[in-house]
Homo-oligomer: A and B are copies of this chain.
Amino acid sequence: MDKKTKITIKDVAAEAGVSFGTVSRVINDDIHVKPETRERVLQAMQRLGFVANRQARSLAGGKTNFIGLLVPDLGTGYIGEIIRGIDAELTLQGLDLVLYTTHRTASKEAAYVANLAQGMVDGLLLVLPRNPADYIGVLTQRKFPFVLIDHQGTGKDCPAVGATNWQGGYDATEYLIKLGHRRIGFITGWMDLGCAQDRLAGYRAALRTYHIPEDPDLIYEGTFFQPDGYTGAMKFLDLPNPPTAIFASNDVMAMGVMDAVRMRGLRVPEDISVLGFDDIPQASLVRPALTTVQQPLENMGRVAAQMLLDLIEQPERKVGRIELSTKLVIRESCQPPRC
């Protein structure tokens, strides 16, 4: 049916018997078009199967309608959830997503940002940026719209969305304490990341509140990957006085913990309580279902996208960090310690 190679606004204009300017106005929902003319144009577009050329619109209009998304990796469902939120919001505005995976190579990150900011996209969304200090300065100075997702740290006041990691760490620890636990093992995330630091700080604060002395043996430094949970738990279980509960800084490490516990012939939660962080989809699917601190990942993506859109609209507007609240989701992996 479509024998023509490319249908342009001129073709549509000819078909509808108007000038191409009018067609352009119809495309852009310009007010100044007589309803019946608009209708005629719309039908012509329909008939010809016209789709506006993106590149041309961008060139002439000065905006690309692309948003750049930089993510470290797509291995865990974690980032998938965030993207889902971003995607939902962007689709509403007819914007498309250009995906860059940095695979944890910090160098690529800065290079990508430099290029993208040169007009390839209208705005930038950075998930779990590794060392944003490298380019935030440039971005800010150039007034290029961007939003950081799940990062805090540089102390600089720049647009970011994250979760209340400190509070999440605190709440979870408090929950374990109230269940009666006194020796609670903690497995940290990758401590270069602010979120990992905050979760640990929350854990510590809760212990302090309840006058439980902190034991350095009960803190194992991990990197957010499952094997850390396994190894950390093994180490805890080797202790002369092992913990009765283990709180891992994310769910996948918590699953590593569960494996280790089972490996030792112990049971969750009867012998050891296990608590995670994130509430990835899998958390509710393992047995026992994991009690965890829920991060509103999808919502974080959504909010970040909204912030970015606002920023694109009004670049002057000053926005800072937004923290979405975490929520303790109680399932089956924790119970009071054995007497």
Contact = CB atoms under 8 A, between A and B. Distances in A.
A103 B119 contact: no
Interface residues of A, number: 50
A221 interface: no
Interface string A28-61: 0000000000000000000000010111101100
A87 B69 contact: no
A287 interface: yes
Given A98-B97, A287-B262, A103 B74 contact: no
Nearest to A76: B77
B74 A84 contact: yes
Q: What does DSSP make chain A's interface, helix, strand, loop or mixed?
A: helix
Total copies of this chain within the assembly: 2
Contact of A259 (B114, B263, B285): B285
Contacts of A255: 285-286
Interface string A75-100: 11101110110010000000011111
Interface in A154-175: none
Contact of A77 (B64, B75, B227): B75
Interface in A97-121: 97-101, 103, 114-115, 118-120
- Interface centre among A6, A114, A227, A286, by most B CB within 10 Å? A286
A74 B79 contact: yes
A281 interface: yes
Contact of A98 (B66, B83, B84): B66
Contacts of A215: none
12 contacts: A53-B119, A73-B84, A74-B79, A74-B83, A83-B99, A87-B101, A96-B98, A226-B282, A226-B285, A227-B285, A255-B286, A259-B285
B76 A103 contact: no
A261 to B, nearest CB: 9
B87 A80 contact: no
B101 A98 contact: no
A142 interface: yes
Given A83-B99, A230-B285, 17 more contacts: A54-B119, A54-B120, A55-B56, A55-B58, A56-B59, A69-B99, A73-B80, A74-B84, A76-B80, A80-B80, A84-B101, A96-B98, A97-B98, A97-B100, A227-B285, A259-B285, A259-B287
Contacts of A313: none
A256 interface: yes
